[in-house]
């Protein structure tokens, strides 16, 4: 697929790298030539230096025969105009734009063919804040991702020292979740993928991935982590866009405090947020954290732009007694560093955002993709089309499917109903199939399975 990416910032750059490794033709456009050189050294892609929305630059980037344009520059307006130019002058089929400003996003009528031809809007701030919200609402989980508009969730859990499952066989998990609409789809020990075998013994630190109906997601975490009491008190460090988004969705159900160091911004936040307590100060100010009872906080989220500040304030909060700490970390190298235990959950904004973009890049009718395990694994939701003749999945039982190695189907959504995958279940047309791939390179095979092939006709 030929894809033009506008803007080589953090999201744009890592998207380019991850897509280039999947044998796509990537052209990256940015005004910063140094940054482009850096990226070009690391992957096989074409780069153009220039302003992203100028028609000549887009023409140079090959907009004429591109399949998709992804506008990820810092400016909402540039992104929207670039999509407009691509649509009007080059008839680019798929146009994705990052729009952060909530004011634009509120008016859905703006983004239609006649006005602003943007097919998909993504807002990284919104995605990250949803991601953190999911984590806060499911205490004990390392990751909670939505499929089928939130009807199905993928939950990642880690076996802890005090868990009842340490030393037990996987069979016990099967027995315990039997009554729930949930299924274990993958298991890791360190970086190694373990096959899901009834007799495998569980050890401390094993990571388990479940796919479950949303209503059951909490039960799954409860059963595996023991009684993790629900989160109530949340402290957010950093009142930027993400912090603000998160506070505004959480404030009705949680007791939220938000720490912001900029006086003006703090005042603004206190005016726009209703119940949240806005604290002006440094997130690493020990005496303020003490005054605000950090020791009884359930969750501490460090969400500033500064990786180092995030890590340090989260570590401090952890030491001072916050039950769970999360930190937003942009640099991949830091993520590995802190996951050794200083911070409970490291959130990579790139991985969260890329998942949302991948859904539109995948062939076949793939509606949701989440990139996992630093991009080595992927969970995706695909829709089956056609009939027994034209499709490789429709009309076949799950056990008959020729799934690539390391792939397991977790659940199927038929209309509004969530069905946990059983080996004798027969897939029908229009079913949403949610699966987990431990090996991302097999994603091609999955795409091919879900494409309606003309040769069968």
Partner 1 sequence: MQRLVIQRVLGLLLMIFSISMLPPLLVGYHYQEADVLSTFGTAFLATLITGFLLWSPTRRHHADMRLRDGFIVVVMFWTVLGAFGTLPFLLSDQVQVSFIDSLFESLSGLTTTGATVLSNLDQLPRSILFYRQQLQWLGGMGIIVLAVAVLPMLGVGGMQLYRAETPGPIKDSKLTPRITETAKALWYIYLSLTLLCALSYWGAGMSVFDAVSHSFSTIAIGGFSTHDANIAHFDSAAIEWVAIIFMIISGANFGLHFLVWRNRSILYYWRDSEFKMYVSVLAAVCLITLISLYIYQTHAHWFHPITKAVFQVVSIGTTTGFTSENFSTWPAFLPVLLIIVSFMGGCAGSTGGGMKVIRVLLLFKQGVRELKRLVHPSAEFAVKVGKKPVDNRVIEAVWGFLSAYIAVFVVMLILLFAAGLDQVTAYSSVVATLNNLGPGLGEVAQNYASLNWFSKSVLCLGMLLGRLEIFTLLVIFTPFFWRR
Residues at the contact surface with partner 1, assessed by CB under 8 A: 266-267, 269-271, 274, 277-281, 288, 291-292
41 or 106, CB closer to partner 1? 106
**Residue among 214 and 270 whose Cβ is closer to partner 1:** 270
Contact between 4 and 63 (Cβ < 8 Å): yes
Minimal distance in Å, beta carbon 246 to partner 1?
A: 18
What is the nearest approach in angstroms of partner 1 to the Cβ of residue 251? 13
For residue 133, CA distances in Å to 1, 25, 145, 245, 375 come to: 34, 35, 10, 10, 22
Three-class SS of residue 208? Answer: strand
Select 285 or 447, whichever has its Cβ closest to partner 1: 285
Minimum Å gap between C-beta 296 and partner 1 is 14
Over the range 405-416, which residues count as b (16 or more CB within 10 Å of their CB) and which as e? ebbbbbbbbeee
Q: How far is the CB of 257 from partner 1 (least distance, A)?
A: 8
Smallest distance, partner 1 to C-beta of residue 266, A: 5
CA distance 60 to 27: 10
Buried b (16+ CB within 10 A) or exposed e, 314-334: bbbbbeeebbbbbbbbbeeeb
Q: Is 120 helix (H, G, I), strand (E, B) or coil?
A: strand
Residue whose CB is less far from partner 1, 37 or 267: 267
Residue carrying structure tokens 């069968």: 456
Instruction: Please name which of 152, 121, 126, 72 lies closest in space to residue 360, comparing C-alpha atoms.
Output: 121
Whole-angstrom distance, CA of residue 272 vs CA of residue 157 = 35
Query: What minimum distance in Å lies between the beta carbon of 56 and partner 1?
Result: 45
- The smaller minimum CB distance to partner 1, of residues 211 and 279, is found at 279
Which residue, 270 or 429, has its beta carbon nearer to partner 1?
A: 270
Q: How far is CA 127 from CA 39, 74, 254, in A?
A: 25, 16, 20
Please say which residue, 81 or 249, places its beta carbon nearer to partner 1.
249
* Residue 166 DSSP symbol: T
Shortest distance, position 253 Cβ to partner 1, whole Å = 18
Contacts of 127 by beta carbon, 8 Å cutoff, 6+ apart = 352, 353, 356
For partner 1, the closer of residues 121 and 278 by Cβ is 278
Tally Cβ neighbours within 10 Å of residue 88. 11
Closest approach of Cβ 279 to partner 1, in Å?
5
């Amino acid at each position: 697929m030929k894809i033009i990416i506008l803007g080589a910032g953090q999201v744009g750059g890592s998207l380019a790298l991850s897509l280039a490794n999947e044998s796509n033709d990537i052209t990256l456009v940015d005004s910063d030539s140094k940054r482009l050189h850096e990226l070009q050294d690391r992957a096989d892609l074409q780069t153009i230096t220039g302003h992203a929305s100028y028609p000549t630059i887009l023409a140079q980037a090959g907009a004429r025969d591109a399949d998709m344009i992804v506008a990820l520059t810092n400016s909402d307006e540039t992104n929207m105009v670039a999509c407009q130019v691509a649509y009007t002058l080059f008839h680019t089929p798929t146009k994705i734009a990052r729009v952060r400003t909530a004011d634009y996003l509120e008016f859905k009528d703006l983004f239609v063919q006649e006005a602003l031809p943007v097919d998909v809007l993504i807002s990284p701030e919104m995605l990250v804040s949803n991601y953190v919200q999911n984590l806060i609402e499911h205490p004990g989980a390392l990751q909670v991702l939505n499929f089928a508009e939130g009807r199905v969730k993928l939950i990642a859990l880690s076996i802890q020292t005090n868990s009842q499952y340490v030393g037990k066989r996987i069979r016990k998990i099967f027995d315990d979740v039997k009554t729930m609409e949930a299924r274990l789809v993958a298991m890791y020990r360190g970086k190694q993928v373990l096959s899901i075998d009834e007799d495998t013994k569980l050890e401390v630190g094993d990571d388990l991935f479940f796919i479950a109906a949303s209503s059951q997601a909490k039960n799954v975490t409860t059963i595996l982590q023991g009684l993790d009491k629900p989160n109530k008190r949340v402290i957010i460090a950093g009142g930027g866009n993400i912090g603000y988004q998160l506070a505004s969705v959480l404030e009705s159900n949680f007791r939220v405090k938000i720490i912001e160091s900029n006086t003006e911004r703090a005042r603004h936040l206190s005016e726009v947020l209703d119940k949240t307590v806005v604290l002006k100060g440094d997130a690493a100010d020990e005496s303020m954290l003490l005054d605000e009872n950090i020791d009884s906080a359930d969750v501490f989220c460090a969400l500033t732009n500064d990786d180092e500040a995030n890590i340090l304030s989260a570590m401090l909060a952890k030491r001072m007694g916050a039950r769970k700490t999360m930190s937003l970390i942009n640099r991949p190298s830091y993520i590995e560093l802190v996951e050794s235990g200083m911070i409970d959950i490291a959130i990579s904004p790139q991985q969260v955002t890329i998942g949302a973009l991948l859904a539109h890049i995948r062939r076949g009718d793939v509606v949701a993709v989440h990139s996992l395990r630093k991009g080595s694994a992927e969970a995706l939701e695909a829709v089956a089309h056609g009939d027994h003749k034209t499709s490789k999945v429709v009309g076949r039982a799950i056990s008959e499917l020729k799934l690539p190695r390391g792939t397991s189907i977790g659940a199927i959504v038929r209309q509004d109903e969530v069905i946990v995958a059983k080996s004798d279940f027969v897939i029908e047309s229009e079913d949403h199939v949610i699966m987990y791939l431990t090996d991302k390179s097999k994603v091609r095979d999955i795409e091919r399975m879900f494409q309606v092939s003309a040769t069968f006709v």
